[in-house]
Amino acid sequence: MEELAKMAISLPPLGKKETWVKHDDRYWYFDKPGGPKVNMKRWGGGIPLLLSGPGAERLIADNASDEKLGIFGLVSPSMQIDLTLENRKSINIDVGDHTPDAQGFYVKLRKSRDVYTVHESWYHVLERLVLDPPYPDPDEKPKPVDPQVQARIKKEAETASANRERGDNFRLKYKDKSGVKELESGLLYRVIKKGSGPVPTLDDTVKVLYTGRLIDDTIFDSTKDGEAITFRLDGIIRGWREALQLMKEGGHWEIVIPPELGYGRKGSGGSIGANETLVFEIELLEIM
């Protein structure tokens, strides 16, 4: 998942809500005027839980009716979670009632009618963030901030923001090119050659030729001397997985991958920076 930038947890039956936001120094703060820094010792696993999602254990109801949503407590949720990612997209989760065995809760994405269950511990960890917010300990002395570390964090944040803006502008212009199509995820692609063979699945291993470059045309990776490489689809970045599962064997595409489908804020090595938009030409030679 792309990194979180803001998150809010509300408990509608109790009329309580807390919101936190990540600042440029990469620390979390309470989202209110003069909001203090989150006490990470009291965070109780909250960020890891929210980053990993609700960890749905099993599907209970597919496209549930209003009546079923009411039975599961999802018409009037007991908890609502609103996550904003660094790419400005949002994830909204509703939590309903206990399962009959009291070992879990019913959950769904707010715009979906598919209902899942999660373990009850997931709910209670997040509930505590609202009922007992992780405010800083007034007796704890703040650690001195290393100026060099602070400067590095600031520079990294500025670079990530600049890369994001340049990539957004590049993709807006690329979309206007003839033959370019966009997937719901934000992936852009242009078919150079259609191909006529089968389409790979996530479990397949494929043989490809490719060239990867940044939006300034800097090549950061390619198959050398026309020597193809092979790999499984389930072991590559999401942008590649999405594209290859639409390509026919023998096809040749150009794809443009937004950072959330690539390497995100972490980048990759020294050649792909934080929040970089990536451009690939891919030839799908063979499904193994």
Same domain, residue pair 108 and 206: no
Tell me if 46 is assigned to some domain: yes
Same domain, residue pair 183 and 274: yes
The whole-number pLDDT of residue 144 equals: 64
Tell me if 250 is assigned to some domain: yes
Mean pLDDT taken over the chain? 86
Least confident of 69-73, 178-182, 268-272: 268-272
Same domain, residue pair 222 and 111: no
Distance CA(230)–CA(207), nearest Å, equals 4
Least confident of 85-89, 182-186, 284-288: 85-89
Same domain, residue pair 118 and 184: no
200 contacts 206 by C-beta, under 8 angstroms = yes
Same domain, residue pair 26 and 92: yes
- Of 72, 102, 131, which closes a domain? 131
- Of 74, 100, 131, which closes a domain? 131
Same domain, residue pair 104 and 177: no
Enter the pTM of the model.
Answer: 0.59
Domain that residue 213 falls in: 173-287
Distance CA(5)–CA(23), nearest Å, equals 8
Same domain, residue pair 187 and 123: no
The whole-number pLDDT of residue 277 equals: 96
Question: How confident is the model over 182-232, as pLDDT tens digits?
Answer: 999 899 999 999 999 999 998 899 999 999 999 999 999 999 777 899 989
Tell me if 145 is assigned to some domain: no
The whole-number pLDDT of residue 1 equals: 46
Please name which of 21, 194, 55 lies closest in space to residue 125, comparing C-alpha atoms: 55
Same domain, residue pair 181 and 101: no
The CATH number that applies at residue 270 is 3.10.50.40
Q: How many domains does the chain have?
A: 2
Same domain, residue pair 252 and 184: yes
Tell me if 140 is assigned to some domain: no
Question: How confident is the model over 29-56, as pLDDT tens digits?
Answer: 898 877 888 887 777 555 555 555 555 5
Same domain, residue pair 126 and 193: no
Least confident of 121-125, 200-204, 251-255, 258-262: 121-125
